[in-house]
Amino acid sequence: MTRSISTATTRAALAVALAAFVAPAPVASAAPVRPARPGFAIAAVGFQSSYQFRLRPGEKVRGRLRLISRSRRAQHVVLRAVDVTTAANGGLEYGSKPPRLEGRWIAIRRRVTVPAGRAVEIPFRVHPEAGTRPGDHFGGIVAINARDLRAAARRPSKQGFSLRYLPRLAIAVGVTTPGRATYQLGVETLGIDVSPSSTDVTVLLRNAGNKLLKQTTGELVVSERGRELLRQSVDIGAFVPGTTIRYRLPLQGTPAKARYQVRGRLLPSGAPAVSVGGTVSSATRPPGSCAASPAARPRAPDRRRCSSPRSPARCCSARSS
Computed from CA positions of residues 293, 296, 298, 300, in that sequence, does the dihedral angle turn out positive or negative?
negative
Q: Taking every pair of C-alpha atoms in the chain, what is the biggest distance, in angstroms?
A: 66
Question: Could you read off the pLDDT of 176-234 as tens digits, one per residue?
Answer: 999 999 999 999 999 998 887 788 999 999 999 999 999 999 999 999 999 999 999 99
Q: For residues 5-29, give the mean pLDDT.
A: 34
Q: What is the pLDDT of residue 166?
A: 80
With contact defined as beta carbons under 8 Å apart, do 205 and 78 qualify? no
Give the residue from 266, 201, 259 showing the smallest Cα distance to 230: 201
Enumerate residues 6+ apart whose C-beta is below 8 A from 271.
183, 184, 185, 209, 213
Question: Could you read off the pLDDT of 282-303 as tens digits, one per residue?
Answer: 764 434 444 555 554 433 333 3
Q: What is the pLDDT of residue 149?
A: 85
Residue-by-residue DSSP string for 27-40: ES-SS--PPPP-SE
**227-236 and 216-224 strand pairing:** antiparallel
Question: Could you read off the pLDDT of 240-275 as tens digits, one per residue?
Answer: 999 999 999 999 877 677 899 999 999 999 999 999
Record the pTM: 0.76
Please say if the pLDDT value at position 155 is more than 80. no
- C-alpha distances (whole Å) from 128 to each of 61, 175, 224 are 9, 8, 49
Q: How far apart are CA 136 and CA 176, in angstroms?
A: 5
- 192 conformational bin, left if phi > 0, alpha if psi -120 to 50, beta if neither: beta
Q: What is the pLDDT of residue 3?
A: 28
